[in-house]
């Protein structure tokens, strides 16, 4: 039996929206932006058509940071109507989407301007994580980049189509998914760092149940129904997680999941 969910002290960390702005991104999963009471702006998302987007975004963003993949700070946002949504803190100095796409599309061996320090390892780590969490929609539009005194820094965001989007998972991603198709293109342009990819898998395997349960318990209770919560924590703690990691290791070794 799993332990009961402890009482959440949500008011200690939820941020309150002061001003709301409409969705101008043209993406179905986004609700828009808010200016919050911590003097930061957030992109916000809610659940759509029964899909547990808030829980997927929350858990995956925390896992990404734990395994060494930079992502915008996640936050619970209380909207003007009182509803609680997932917020992704806007990063200052982010380049326009077209600039980030162009950066990723330029082969590393001919990359001009800001040198692509750490680009191949980062993309390899993201691909390993996306395969593990069953994220089928990774594409150049959900990377953010900044110019840090001549060095391009990349952040990964948008886990809406991961984790609970298609739960329980059945194997790994389809070969025609955006993550696999774009992943192959990025490997052609920048290569694949097998060591970093497997290190990312090692970190996932080493992430203790207590830590992941902590992520889950810090969400508002309504974001993840009890059945999915129990199934997910059982998966993380009963050996299925390690089995999935081992299958990915083999797939990277023999090229079948690349």
Residue 132's Cβ-count burial label (10 Å; 0-12, 13-18, 19+) is buried
Closest listed residue to residue 89, CA positions, set 38, 124, 55? 38
Distance in angstroms (rounded) separating the CA atoms of residues 113 and 127: 25
pLDDT band at 196 (very low <50, low <70, confident <90, very high): very high
Can you tell me which residue has the tokens 């999963």?
A: 29
What does pTM read for this prediction? Answer: 0.92
Is-cis flag, bond preceding 168, omega within 30?
A: yes
Residue burial 71-93, b: 16+ Cβ < 10 Å; e: rest: bbebbbbbbeeeebbbbbbebee
pLDDT in tens, 151-189: 889 999 999 999 999 999 999 999 999 999 999 999 999
Q: Note the pLDDT of residue 28.
A: 62
Average pLDDT estimate for 91-113: 83
Distance in angstroms (rounded) separating the CA atoms of residues 31 and 42: 11
Domain ranges of the chain: 10-89, 97-254
Q: Are 244 and 134 in contact (CB under 8 A)?
A: no
Strand partners, 16: 78
Q: H helices within 15-151, ranges in order? A: 53-66, 97-105, 119-133
Q: Output the CA torsion 66→75→56→47 (10° steps).
A: 180
pLDDT in tens, 45-101: 999 999 999 999 999 999 999 999 999 999 999 999 999 999 999 998 998 999 999
Q: Note the pLDDT of residue 108.
A: 83
């Amino acid at each position: 039996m799993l332990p009961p969910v402890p009482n959440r002290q949500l008011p200690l960390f939820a941020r309150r929206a002061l001003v709301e702005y409409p969705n101008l991104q043209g993406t179905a999963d986004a609700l828009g932006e808010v200016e919050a009471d911590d003097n930061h702006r957030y992109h916000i998302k809610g659940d759509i058509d029964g899909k547990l987007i808030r829980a997927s975004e929350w858990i995956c963003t925390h896992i990404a940071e734990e395994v060494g993949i930079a992502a915008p700070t996640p936050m619970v946002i209380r909207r003007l109507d009182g509803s609680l949504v997932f917020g992704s803190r806007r990063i200052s100095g982010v380049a326009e989407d077209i600039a980030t796409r162009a950066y990723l599309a330029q082969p590393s061996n001919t990359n001009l301007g800001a040198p692509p320090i750490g680009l191949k390892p980062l993309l390899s780590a993201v691909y390993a994580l996306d395969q593990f969490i069953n994220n089928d929609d990774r594409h150049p539009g959900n990377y953010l980049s900044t110019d840090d005194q001549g060095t391009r820094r990349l952040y990964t965001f948008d886990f809406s189509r991961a984790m609970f989007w298609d739960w329980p998972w059945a194997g790994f991603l389809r070969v025609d998914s955006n993550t696999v198709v774009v992943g192959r293109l990025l490997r052609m342009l920048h290569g694949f760092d097998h060591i970093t990819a497997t290190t990312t898998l090692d970190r996932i395997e080493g992430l203790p149940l207590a830590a992941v349960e902590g992520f889950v318990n810090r969400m508002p209770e309504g974001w993840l129904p009890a059945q999915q919560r129990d199934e997910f924590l059982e998966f993380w703690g009963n050996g299925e997680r390690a089995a999935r990691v081992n299958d990915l290791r083999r797939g990277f070794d023999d090229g079948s999941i690349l």
